[in-house]
A = this chain, B = another copy of it.
Amino acid sequence: MRITALAGGVGGARFLRGLRRHLDTLPDGPHELTIIGNTGDDITLFGLRVCPDLDTLLYTLGGGVHEQQGWGRADETFAVQHELAAYEVPPQWFGLGDQDFGTHIARSLWLGQGMPLSRVTARLAERWGLPGQHVRLLPMTDTPVETHVVVEEGEEQRAMHFQEWWVRYQAQLPAVRFVVAGMDHAVAGPGVLDAIRQADVVLLPPSNPVVSIGIILTVPGVRDALRGTNAPVVGVCPLVGGAPVRGHADVCLEAIGIDVTPAGVAGLYTDFLDGWLVDERDAGAPVAGLRVRACPLLMTDVDAAAAMGAAALELAMDLRKAA
């Protein structure tokens, strides 16, 4: 079975780690998991290229993530960052650990040698054992793109990098809209469109629908591939009881004028979504044109995430039979 998922950072990574565990329990394996990762969060810091969502996916699936934090490396030290602060190198609002710097230095070196991000990511993924798990991690595009947030300051509007808005200002500055710098000349990364077209199942993990999944959907060809694929497309709602489990999906949805409800989020995907998994406490409200199913959507541990993966997959299988 070939499963393709679109994913942002922490929520997507935790869901996919659970799904991967569930897949290993199924017969007729190994089942292949292809992840199309958001690169809109990517940022150049201290001259190094940082890919927060790809790294969270690598570290989480590879067993190196800081479990409580959800991103970054376990058992981190911060000597490099301390030195950069001593040299007064901005920015000082983005926390990078020493082990994490190792990843960014390796990536920047290889990018500087002319290697595309997809190949760089594959090399990083080897160290984290993804090929051995039958997981491919594909950046949504090899073109450098960056999500910027247009914010209102009094009568003025100004744009800042998504990470500055998210990390430095904790999404508290009023966002007017999100724009992806570089997307006008971006092309989908190698294998990305085929992974959607040739999948047996396509999943949308509970990633941020605006700044993670929403950004991947703006990559030329991705939305068309989702509309055209024969695979059932099942989404996992990132809201539980009317609020995001973590992150600031509510703020992002409000910024683009979407109701902070499971139906509101599903409305962003109506042209290609077949099934929609919502939390038990959000059950009952039908969403037009969709098979909606309810189950617990709190990823309290890997087992809970595995159960969510199983439920999403089961819904997809039912949709295949129904088709």
Chain A residues with CB under 8 Å of chain B are: 46-48, 76-77, 79-84, 86-89, 97-99, 101-103, 105-106, 108-109, 112, 123-124, 127
Contact indicator A84/B112 (Cβ below 8 Å): no
List of B residues within 8 angstroms of A124 by Cβ: 87
Give 17 A-B pairs besides A46-B105, A48-B105 with Cβ atoms closer than 8 angstroms: A46-B109, A47-B108, A79-B79, A79-B97, A80-B98, A80-B105, A82-B99, A83-B98, A83-B106, A84-B105, A87-B102, A87-B106, A87-B124, A87-B127, A89-B106, A89-B109, A101-B101
Question: For the complex, what is the distance from the CA of A80 to the CA of B109, rounded to whole Å?
Answer: 14
CB-nearest residue of chain B to A87: B106
Interface of A is mostly: helix
Question: For the complex, what is the distance from the CA of A84 to the CA of B86, rounded to whole Å?
Answer: 24
Kindly provide the distance from the CB of A102 to the nearest chain B CB, expressed in whole angstroms. 2
Contact indicator B99/A79 (Cβ below 8 Å): yes
Kindly provide the distance from the CB of A112 to the nearest chain B CB, expressed in whole angstroms. 5
Question: For the complex, what is the distance from the CA of A105 to the CA of B79, rounded to whole Å?
Answer: 12
Of the A-B pairs whose beta carbons lie under 8 Å apart in the complex, a sample of 8, sorted by A's number, is: A47-B108, A47-B109, A79-B79, A79-B102, A83-B106, A86-B102, A89-B109, A98-B101
CB-nearest residue of chain B to A124: B87
Kindly provide the distance from the CB of A121 to the nearest chain B CB, expressed in whole angstroms. 12
List of B residues within 8 angstroms of A46 by Cβ: 105-106, 109
